[in-house]
Structure 1
Amino acid sequence: MNDIGQVINAMIHYFMGDARRINHFIKVYGFAKTIGVLEGLDESTQEILEIAAVTHDIGIKNSEKKYNSASGSHQQVEGPPEARKLLEDLNFHPAVIGRICWLIAHHHTYDKIDELDHQILIEADFIVNAFEDDLSEIAIQNVSEKIFKTETGRRFLNKLYFSK
């Protein structure tokens, strides 16, 4: 397994001076890693999930430059080329890079979740976004019912937002 530390280091450099974005991907990484482990992902899928969690928002910088927007649809277009460059520089296998770029290109696409790594990435990102965007309990509950599928993701969401 390649060192996730190298990817985190490269992403901190990429988002240098943007503590909010760096903190976001670190939190998503923590939830994605933990959900993946507890859901029993195999080592290869776990590696892909963890790298995708760290790099999932890499398209934000170019989205803001080109479109003056950080919208998910722009991120999904702008992210994969940036991630590909970063991961090629770190000598990741082309198949691993391909799957990570696919996940980045679909991390805001909730209607065609194809595999468990995609499901977990979306759940981890939502868990963090719910807090960062100060979503209402009703909004969180609606997403939980419509999108969350893993036992671990549901448990974390419930313990974070509904166990009072």
Structure 2
Amino acid sequence: MQLQKLTEAMIDYMGGDARRIQHFTKVHAFANLIGRQEGLDTATQFILEAAALTHDIGIKNGEEKFGAGKCSGKTQELEGPPVAAELLDRLGFTDAVRERICYLIGHHHSYDNIDGLDYQILVEADFLVNFYEDGLSQAAIKTACARIFKTESGLKLCRQMYGIEV
């Protein structure tokens, strides 16, 4: 029920921005799938799904501050956690869960120190969606998959979706 309320709240928060709403719902779908395929425990799966829904929440504030299309990954990582924390508090998320979700939001564009399976899967799910939305070449997808993807499920999806060997 909390994930449904979070989804509704995120749609409301991003209202009028169908592209971004579709983005986070797709990332959530892939994160959900990979997390289940990888056998995450219930608590970690919940955190992963909530982080997938909110991972780009900082874009709205970032673009208000710096202009449309001028919200870098680092800006998203800085702007996202405070907004997400307020939303998660309002929806009754526990402190520990909120802190981990905000940590994931605050690091989802940083790939050099991934510290948990929830973090790894969030990154992979975001890449799977961004490959398509950004129109990346097969070569770029293959390179990114080889460098970033670690889970068997994420690698399999990358191969299946984009017809590449990693």
TM-score, normalised to structure 1's length?
A: 0.97
Encode CA deviations 1:112-132: one digit per residue, 9 max, x unaligned: 111000000000000000000
1:100 aligns with 2:83: no
Query: SS at 1:109's partner residue?
Result: coil
Encode CA deviations 1:50-87: one digit per residue, 9 max, x unaligned: 00000000000011111221210000000000000100
| Residue number in structure 2 paired with 1:73 | 74
Partners of 1:121 and 1:91 lie apart in 2 by 22
| Residue number in structure 2 paired with 1:124 | 125
Structure 2 counterpart of 1:53, which letter?
A
| Count of residues in correspondence between the two structures | 162
The equivalences for 1:137-152 within 5 A come to 137-152=138-153
Gaps of 5+ in 2: none
Partners of 1:152 and 1:136 lie apart in 2 by 21
TM-score, normalised to structure 2's length?
A: 0.96
Note the aligned Cα RMSD (angstroms). Answer: 0.8
Moved beyond 2 Å, runs of 4+: none
1:34 aligns with 2:60: no
The equivalences for 1:46-57 within 5 A come to 46-57=45-56
Percent of matched pairs sharing the same residue: 55
| Residue number in structure 2 paired with 1:8 | 7
Encode CA deviations 1:82-103: one digit per residue, 9 max, x unaligned: 0001000001000000000000
Gaps of 5+ in 1: none
